[in-house]
Structure 1
């Protein structure tokens, strides 16, 4: 074997854990989301054939004939009390489509099942898939694994008739166009401050970055205490403007204010994180450029806008794209703090459809649209904000 081939094999073997991780946790979920967006996948039904049940109990309830008394009946007599579709759907507990009901009527071996019940040959417990495999004459594979129905682009058609899709999408877009520019500019200002040679600068760096490493749940609870009606913010405003008959505001339950309150929280908590990116960029700018500007008579404001900001363009592109992705996908603060559907974002609406409404197919279609929008916005940002000045 050639040396270069050996080297390639060894390289791939070393990188195999990373490749497998990316395939399993990134590539496969993306492909699955695209597939499920074209189906009526319902997570509550996905495990319906994996549950275990007691066939004796189910048949006793269905036929009204106790296990101990079954031998005194012939199979034909037991058959008079037995309806296969009702038994599977009601007593076994499997929700059936119209097509599955027809298959049960045609193919369930009722005589063999009742004979085993009469003779006591049934197991005490059996998985539904194994039961169907055992007593279905044909098409048993339809009842051993859940297969969502393919609906094509129906989920996407339903989406554009859904009022909450428009509301949640607009909220996420509004969130992005307000938060991203402000947090980017604030991060640059913090980076410039942290890069200056003043006493205690390391302490300020730590303080600025602290919100970025604090748990989102903990931050949400802190801001809940700040924003609630008897909270800190209302107490401060009451002490300042109480003489003007200031009325406390419930910021998180007021639809016209709630989303903007979350925006303020997000700007405060993420600006320090992006500050580090700009700080790295600032330290790569040669000091000779600033010295030349100073000799030419440029003041601090001119230096900032004419030198610092243009030379930070690569970092601005990165921060604006990452900020847009984060804002369009904002979920945790909305989940913890928002209680009305007028202020939800698209990520939270995807969660509600998938895990509360049991509509995973529709949620996947929403996720696909969100993916397409984020990709488009990222490409536009790369086109509009040139990395090179």
Structure 2
């Protein structure tokens, strides 16, 4: 049966869109579900490839026993020097939990291993998973692929006892509460200034927007030089008799210093959003207000700001998401744990501590918080005036 034209058109459309659909599935949807799953486990990325590592069993046994293979004639000579659990953990390099330890104690064929060692059969490279499948009488499936242990809600319970989780979450909230309103208001002011009909306005537009397109790493390094003890800021303050301050090393000043930098870099970016909104406001409204004798301040607060409500909502939502997820500036400039944010703490758990399961739980909590704040913003800040 011939396909209808609409069906053909839909199939062709999906065919052309398939690269984008697959990219979204692989790089967006799958990571979300994976993070949700890992948040209930003790997943450790350092252990994920552990069983695929190759090693030489003979060399490992020689190192463990203190004997070369050609020196040993019988098992009785070496059995007193062989400790199974130490060999598996330290010399083979397998991270064991209680379940796997019990499997090894019950089913590992030590005699076969030592006989093969004496016979010279172990002088070859092999994967750890293959080695375990050869010498385990039963339960070798537990060592074929890495499967994290299911912990249930343990990762989430752990947060209530984790002081750094509380500190990092408080810092993220504090950061957002200060930065979002200030950067939003400053972006509106910059947009109003950029929308003015004055000479050289194109130069000022470009100047305001440059920080938004500059590398975050480069900006962080520039501000590191500004905030350092011999930096420009301390030199300027020394003129007025102030002593040099280590702005980024002092926990009381480090986070506010980062806030100032973030406001400076993002206000110009959001200025473009408000500039587009200003150009949609009919000039007749401003002309009528001026004829009625309205002052510039009243025009700004009674006309400009209310008419920009859709843009304000968008900027506040995007600004909140960005501030709650702030990472790069903290990573580059903060050197103490009292000023870390939740995104940086997720990074440390995942890639420095190897606690990917706990990091996934933290990420899930952060996602829930951002979603809740976004819903509240949409509920209490209406787009229409």
After alignment, is 211-220 or 115-124 more displaced? 115-124
Match of 2:45, SS state, is: coil
Residue correspondence of structure 1 range 25-64 to structure 2 within 5 A: 25-64=27-66
Q: Given that residues 183 and 267 in structure 2 are in contact (C-alpha distance below 8 angstroms), is that contact kept between their aligned partners in structure 1?
A: yes
Report the equivalent of 1:16.
Answer: 18
Aligned to 1:133: 133
Q: Which residue of 1 aligns with 2:96?
A: 96
**Structure 1 counterpart of 2:344:** 348
Q: Distance in 2 between matches of 1:55 and 1:290?
A: 83
Kept in 2, the 8 Å contact 1:37–1:361? The answer is yes
- Residue ranges of structure 2 left out of the alignment (5+ in a row): none
Post-superposition Cα deviations, 1:219-265, rounded to whole Å, max 9, x if no partner, equal 111111111122111111111x12xxx22221111212211111111
Q: Is the 8 A contact 1:79 1:110 kept in 2?
A: no
CA distance in 2, matches of 1:138, 1:323: 56
Cα separation, 2, equivalents of 1:61 and 1:265: 55
**Structure 1 counterpart of 2:222:** 222
Shift of the alpha carbon at 1:52?
A: 1.1
- For residues 195 and 317 of structure 2, the distance between their equivalents in structure 1, rounded to whole angstroms, comes to 24
CA RMSD of aligned residues (A): 1.7
Cα distance in 2, alignment partners of residues 343 and 215 from structure 1? 22
Tell me, in whole angstroms, the C-alpha distance in 1 between the residues paired with 2:16 and 2:123.
49
Aligned pair count reads: 383
**Which residue matches 1:358?**
354
Aligned to 1:386: 382
How many Å apart are 1:119 and its aligned residue?
A: 3.0
Residues 60, 91 of structure 2: 8 Å contact kept: yes
Tell me the TM-score normalised to structure 1 length. 0.94
Q: Give the match's secondary structure for 1:199.
A: coil
What displacement does 1:108 show? 2.1
Residue 280 of structure 1 corresponds to which residue in structure 2?
Answer: 276
Greater alpha carbon shift after TM alignment, 319-328 vs 226-235: 226-235
Contact 1:36 / 1:364 at 8 angstroms: preserved in 2?
A: yes
State the secondary structure of the residue aligned to 2:365: helix
State which drifts further: 16-25 or 323-332: 16-25
Measure how far apart 1:112 and its partner are: 3.4
Preserved contact between residue 171 and residue 343 of structure 1 (Cα < 8 Å):
yes
> Aligned partners of 2:229, 2:258: CA distance in 1, in Å?
15
Instruction: Give the Cα–Cα distance (whole angstroms) in 1 for the partners of residues 211 and 345 of structure 2.
Output: 26
Aligned counterparts, 1:261-300, within 5 A = 261-300=257-296
1:237 aligns with 2:237: yes
Work out the CA distance in 1 between the residues paired with 2:193 and 2:167: 39
Aligned pair partner of 2:314 in 311, 318, 322:
318
Contact persistence 1:172–1:328 (CA under 8 A): yes
In 1, Cα distance between equivalents of 2:256 and 2:63 = 57
* Aligned counterparts, 1:152-163, within 5 A: 152-163=152-163
Give a deviation string over 1:179-223, Cα, whole Å, max 9, x none.
001100111111111111111111111100000011111111111
- Please show how residues 117-266 of structure 1 align to structure 2 within 5 Å: 117-122=117-122, 124-239=124-239, 241-242=240-241, 246-266=242-262
Any residues of structure 2 matched to 1:67-106 within 5 Å, and which?
67-70=69-72, 72-73=73-74, 81-106=81-106
